[in-house]
Amino acid sequence: MDIQYEVLIIGSGPGGMTAAIYASRAGLNTAILESSAPGGKLVKTHLVENYPSYDSITGVDLAMKMHTHSLAFGANYLYGDVVKVDKIEGGFIVHSATGETFTSKVVISATGTVERQLGLTNEDKLLGKGVSYCAVCDGAFYRDEHVVVIGGGNSALEESIYLTQFAKKVTIVMRRDVFRADKAAQDNVKRNPKIEILQHYIPKQFLLDELGKVSGIKIQHTNTNETIDLEAKAVFPYIGADPASSYLSHLGITDEEGFVLVNQEMETGIPGLYAIGDMNSKTLRQIVTATGDGSIAAQNAFKFLHS
């Protein structure tokens, strides 16, 4: 079988785009394969304030700058929703949902994570009807309304701040009384008069109006089991994420949760197959760690191809 590329990068988040820069600058025939818009979670992030060289930049702006840079040295940008990667003689074959296939000597997986759902009844059916996992995408639809954010991590707090520019009130519902977010995010939330924090509560049921849209959410106290009905036009869950690695599950390179196991060189247990960014088993998932992973994987891909 003819091999189309030397390096095929699956996913165009910060890690994937950095890998494309390094691989194409090294003179490798490189392509990025993406199923959506470039940028990954960057395009769902309002402001980025911890990426070196930018005191503050919108996620979309940073994503577009990275995207332009990632193609500056000749990398190709392809569209495809990957469903499986197989090892073949001389490389890999990548299968897309449409039946199209791509072949490459090296594959760098960079598909990140997907937002974790609350697990409540009809959650999937209510997407776009008051349930959203992207404040940047949908916040403007709820101008002058009350909205609820579920979670206590950085994403929950940062997106709550973003939502206050539209909503008249934002209620943060969290299971514990300790935030997982950094102190700067906590301070921003605590001094915002539009934000209310309810601790020791968990979501139990979506409340619906006569049109089948979200009208609120029932929450339950974790100690007393008391329930409260919160009237709200939208619910934004930010309770973590799961690895987007199902297309690799048959290869035996993931842990029990689906996160990919790699060494410090970003190598999986299969020679020529690398994984980077949030989909890896790691302790810190940030833009800077993803870009670092991407540079390491691309450099090692170059060494692998020339060894």
Positions annotated as catalytic residues are 134, 137-138
State the Rg of the chain over Cα: 21
Q: Where are the beta strands (DSSP E) in 26-150?
A: 30-34, 47-48, 57-58, 76-79, 82-88, 91-96, 101-109, 113-115, 146-150
Contact 161, 189 (CB under 8 A): yes
Contact 138, 235 (CB under 8 A): no
Short-list 81, 106, 114, CA closest to 19: 106
Contact 110, 19 (CB under 8 A): yes
106 class by beta-carbon count within 10 Å (0-12 exposed, 13-18 middle, 19+ buried): buried
